[in-house]
Amino acid sequence: MRLFEILLFFSSVFLLAIPFIFNQRIRRSALLLTSGAGSIFLVIHLLVEGYRVQLLFLYGFTILMLMLSIIDVFITQKAVRTTSRIRRVLGPLLIVIGLIATACLNYVFPVFDLPAPTGKLKVGMQVFHFVDPNREETFGKTATGKRELMVQVWYPTEAGTGEYAPFIPDTRILSYMGENFGLPGFTFQHLRYVSSHSYSGGEVSSEQASYPLILANPGNVSSRFLHTSQAENLASHGYIVAVIDHTYNTFATKFPDGRITTSTTDNLFSPDHDYQTGRGVRDKLGKVLTEDVAFALDQFDLIQSGQIPSHLKGRIDLGHVGVFGHSIGGATAYDASYDPRITVGIDLDGGLYRLREREGLRKPFLFINSESYSEKLKRVMDNRVYTDAELNLMGSTREWEDQVTEDKKLELERMRETVDEGGQVLYIDNTEHLNFADVQFISSIFNMLGITGKIAPERANSVINAYMLDFFNMYLKNQGGNLMKGPDSRFPEVKFVNWLL
């Protein structure tokens, strides 16, 4: 909670104790002073910090108690006694309910601080709008009919001044985020008050002549801003990091002319699809996402040469390019790494696509998986046969799981091949799928639902960032690589998947 939110909360706590003061004169004065102070805190909070839906109980109780204190001063003594009897019963009860509800809502939907970057360099940020004249948009409508992308770039900058850029690129997309999780559109509006650690614009740092480029891909129905902490951390260590909003695969993308596109790619899949059909649809979707990465890389050629205006002109090391992604974005990172311009990549808990269309990737590649996904792969390695009861519980069929197993065995073979080329396969204890993006900070409700693990979000973020940085440093800067050699006492949660070898 922010400063005036805390003051407002504790003024309400104090109001809860006032009805137990037996001296009527002292009680009346305490009520007036405390409710008055609470009202002042409320006004300052609204003007300086901004309102939050999660605090509506506090707002209502503060105003109610101010009104009751004014009534105590101006109405007759007899009326006061009548009002006091009602207030002594209902007042504390309503305040208790309000405080408990407020505490719960603030716990579930906090105004949090993103983890600070660990590098010595300040971080700048710029957003680009790219239009591919050679590809038609097939997932929805665009202004030109061509494939359009919004790409947010974080980079090392000279010492920043002023305020940090907001975490959310445009607050209008937050209602779509709520709807994506099956919640009311106002649920995540508090994220407008979360700040990044980046400065908008600014000159590129003179610390190095140029910086390696890393392209990143969010997961299905995610967003570029949900990889802010990872991008900022890499940028603070001397990388230019570009996170791609894959249009119509995000929950919402806002374009410079005000248009907002939402997710349509889920509509490509149907519960009536058999496994082979569903896999084919995913491969076709994946092909578009992979082409987005190649097109974005083309645009950075133009930025480097100055044909697209940017502070990044002449400062991008296009001879050292990496890629990473989460979920289907991790599969995109793997598939995009067949591009000869890309040196190395990382997949964060994403199952691969288009496996039968290519030979194995002959490049170092790092897989960092959740504990649950690693367990699934281990069952495939062990040729686990599910019982009928287990299949019923999973809502699956033996035929379906047999085909999943066949695909996962091919995926495991691809992992082995990248390890042979200098890559690695890891998993992190007590993690689940959403621990690999900043969504893990947004609400503890994700932990309650089991889509983030028992590990603390700050710890998960710290571990993932450390291993990503070490791997990219090893292949894009020819330094580091110690974490890739084996278990490290600083990161006991990280397990090397030796059974794969």
Number of domains the chain contains: 2
Q: In a 3-state reduction of DSSP, which class is residue 291?
A: helix
- Rounded mean pLDDT of the chain? 90
- Do 92 and 171 belong together in one domain? no
377: tokens are: 């792969």
Give percent above pLDDT 90 in the chain: 65
- Output the pLDDT for position 320: 98
Is residue 177, in this structure, part of any structural domain at all? yes
The H or E element containing residue 254 is: strand 252-254
- Output the pLDDT for position 435: 97
- Output the pLDDT for position 184: 87
Secondary structure letter of residue 197 according to DSSP: S
Is residue 117, in this structure, part of any structural domain at all? no
Q: What is the pLDDT of residues 36-70, one digit of tens each?
A: 898 899 899 889 888 888 888 888 888 887 887 88
Is residue 297, in this structure, part of any structural domain at all? yes
- Do 365 and 459 belong together in one domain? yes
Give the domain-ending residue among 108, 141, 161.
108
- Do 227 and 136 belong together in one domain? yes
The CATH number of the domain holding residue 265 is 3.40.50.1820
Is residue 322, in this structure, part of any structural domain at all? yes
Give the domain-ending residue among 80, 108, 136.
108
Q: What is the pLDDT of residues 148-159, one digit of tens each?
A: 999 999 999 987
Where in the sequence is the domain holding 187, given as residue range(s)? 122-500
- Output the pLDDT for position 215: 98
- Do 70 and 133 belong together in one domain? no
Is residue 64, in this structure, part of any structural domain at all? yes
- Output the pLDDT for position 76: 47
- Do 453 and 481 belong together in one domain? yes
Residue 137's CB is within 10 A of a number of other CB atoms, namely 19
- Output the pLDDT for position 75: 62
Q: What is the pLDDT of residues 380-395, one digit of tens each?
A: 988 888 899 988 988 8
Is residue 241, in this structure, part of any structural domain at all? yes
Is residue 400, in this structure, part of any structural domain at all? yes
- Do 178 and 93 belong together in one domain? no
Is residue 265, in this structure, part of any structural domain at all? yes
Say whether pLDDT at 83 is over 60: no
Mean pLDDT of 231-255: 97
- Do 82 and 208 belong together in one domain? no
d(CA 436, CA 347): 10
Instruction: Show Cβ contacts of residue 463 under 8 Å, excluding neighbours closer than 6 positions.
Output: 428, 491, 493, 494
Q: What is the pLDDT of residues 171-207, one digit of tens each?
A: 899 999 999 888 888 889 889 999 999 999 889 999 9
Residue 461's CB is within 10 A of a number of other CB atoms, namely 22
Q: What is the pLDDT of residues 253-271, one digit of tens each?
A: 999 999 999 999 999 999 8
Say whether pLDDT at 496 is over 90: yes
- Do 104 and 128 belong together in one domain? no
Residue 494's CB is within 10 A of a number of other CB atoms, namely 19
- Do 139 and 287 belong together in one domain? yes
Assign 80 a pLDDT band (cuts: 50, 70, 90).
very low
Torsions phi, psi for 477 (to 5 deg)? -130, 0
pTM over 0.85: yes
- For residue 435, count CB atoms less than 10 angstroms from its CB and return exposed for 0-12, middle for 13-18, buried for 19 or more: buried
Say whether pLDDT at 454 is over 80: yes
- Output the pLDDT for position 85: 60
SS3 sequence of 377-432: HHHHHCCCCCCHHHHHHHCCCHHHHHHHHHHHHHHHHHHHHHHHCCCEEEEECCCC
- For residue 166, count CB atoms less than 10 angstroms from its CB and return exposed for 0-12, middle for 13-18, buried for 19 or more: middle
What is the sign of the dihedral through the CA atoms of 262, 145, 217 and 225? negative
Q: What is the pLDDT of residues 404-416, one digit of tens each?
A: 999 999 999 999 9
- Do 375 and 491 belong together in one domain? yes
With CA atoms as reference, report the closest residue to 234 among 212, 217, 219: 212
- Do 103 and 148 belong together in one domain? no
Q: What is the pLDDT of residues 303-356, one digit of tens each?
A: 999 999 999 999 999 999 999 999 999 999 999 999 999 999 999 999 999 999
- Do 102 and 131 belong together in one domain? no
Give the domain-ending residue among 85, 108, 131.
108
Say whether pLDDT at 79 is over 50: no
